[in-house]
């Protein structure tokens, strides 16, 4: 009789495997999302496929590009890590006890690295278009807000040098994102069936882009902004990236980090305080416990 050997638990079965999934899911999210911005800002004009100025059609490309990027990023990582792909999601799920606190920092690291690597690959593919756009505009890279905007966010000029307006925008936008994610994954409510969740979460991002996007670029994800921001700093955009300063804003880098983290907690809190008790009362205590994405295994 063949001797049985004990199965050795590989690193991919534990936290390291979840980090790999978060890395790749965030990489796909940023690759497609930033890619859509590159098409709208430098790809179409530089290739001769668009002769008009940047306008509403370009914004639709960006909004739908980011929405579809979320869909496919979630499909890549969802079955392994829960596909947070966003430090605000990770923090919010930990705060509502759907996710273990010990995994928060590792998830954040994987998400930021995935975003950084995606930004590097987009730059490798679009650097000719970026350089051509800067040459046509007659400005050096470290003064080009337009080409920087391919990678990371900045506030609209009407905010002036105020930090409160963009911060509020990020809090509200991310609160909407997490509120609706909570609704879409809650099987006690009208959660979508048959793996439709990622599509609807992607539509949430499209909706946020169409309703709040022009205020501050709707980062709504600290890794989505900070990873590419760090890359652009190393690649020559200088102070526009870090500390995040230009003609009408200064020291902006922290707002797309702090705002989404606060907003995520607000969004999950609103859902759990308003909808959660109603569901509990209607369904009874037996239906109260719900596992969240990547809930700790027994």
Q: How do residues 139-189 score in pLDDT, each as one tens digit?
A: 999 999 999 999 999 999 999 989 999 999 999 999 999 999 999 999 999
Q: What is the pLDDT of residue 287?
A: 54
Written as one string, the DSSP assignment of the chain is: -PPP-PPP--GGGSHHHHHHHHHHHHHHHHHHHHHHHHIIIIIHHHHTS--SPS-HHHHHHHHHHHHHHHHHHHHHHHHHH----SHHHHHHHHHTTSS-GGGHHHHHHHHHHHHHHHHHHHHHHHHHHHHHHHHHHT--GGG-HHHHTTTS----GGGTT-SHHHHHHHHHHHHHHHHHHHHHH-TTTTPPPTT-HHHHHHHHHHHHHHHHHHHH-----HHHHHHHHHHHIIIIIGGGTTT---SS--SGGGHHHHHHHHHHHHHHHHIIIIIHHHHHHHH-GGGT----TTPPP-
pLDDT for the residue numbered 5: 45
- pLDDT category at 298 given cuts 50, 70, 90 is very low
Decide if 167 contacts 243 (C-beta within 8 A). no
Residue 51 pLDDT greater than 70, yes or no: yes
Mean pLDDT, the chain, integer: 92
**Residue 101 CB: number of other CB atoms within 10 A?**
12
């Amino acid at each position: 009789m063949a001797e049985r050997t004990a199965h050795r638990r590989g690193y991919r079965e534990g936290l390291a495997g979840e980090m790999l999934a978060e890395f790749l899911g965030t990489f796909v999210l940023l690759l497609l999302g930033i890619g859509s911005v590159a098409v709208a800002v430098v790809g179409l004009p530089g290739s001769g496929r668009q002769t008009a100025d940047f306008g509403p059609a370009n914004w639709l490309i960006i909004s739908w590009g980011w929405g579809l990027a979320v869909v496919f990023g979630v499909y890549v990582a969802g079955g392994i890590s829960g596909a947070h792909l966003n430090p605000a999601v990770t923090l919010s799920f930990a705060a509502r006890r759907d996710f273990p606190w010990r995994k928060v920092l590792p998830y954040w690291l994987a998400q930021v690295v995935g975003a950084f690597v995606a930004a590097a690959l987009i730059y490798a593919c679009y650097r000719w278009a970026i350089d051509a756009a800067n040459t046509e505009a007659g400005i050096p890279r470290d003064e080009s807000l337009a080409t920087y905007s391919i990678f990371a966010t900045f506030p609209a000029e009407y905010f002036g040098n105020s930090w409160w307006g963009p911060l509020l925008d990020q809090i509200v936008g991310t609160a909407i994102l997490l509120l609706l994610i909570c609704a879409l994954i809650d099987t006690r409510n009208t959660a979508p069936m048959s793996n439709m969740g990622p599509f609807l979460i992607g539509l949430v991002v499209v909706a946020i882009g169409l309703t709040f996007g022009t205020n501050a670029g709707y980062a709504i994800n600290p890794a989505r902004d900070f990873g590419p921001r760090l890359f652009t700093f190393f690649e020559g955009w200088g102070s526009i990236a870090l500390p995040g300063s230009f003609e009408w804003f200064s020291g902006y880098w922290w707002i797309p980090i702090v705002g989404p983290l606060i907003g995520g907690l607000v969004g999950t809190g609103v859902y759990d305080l308003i909808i959660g008790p109603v569901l509990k009362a209607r369904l009874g205590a037996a239906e109260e416990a719900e596992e969240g994405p990547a809930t700790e295994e027994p």
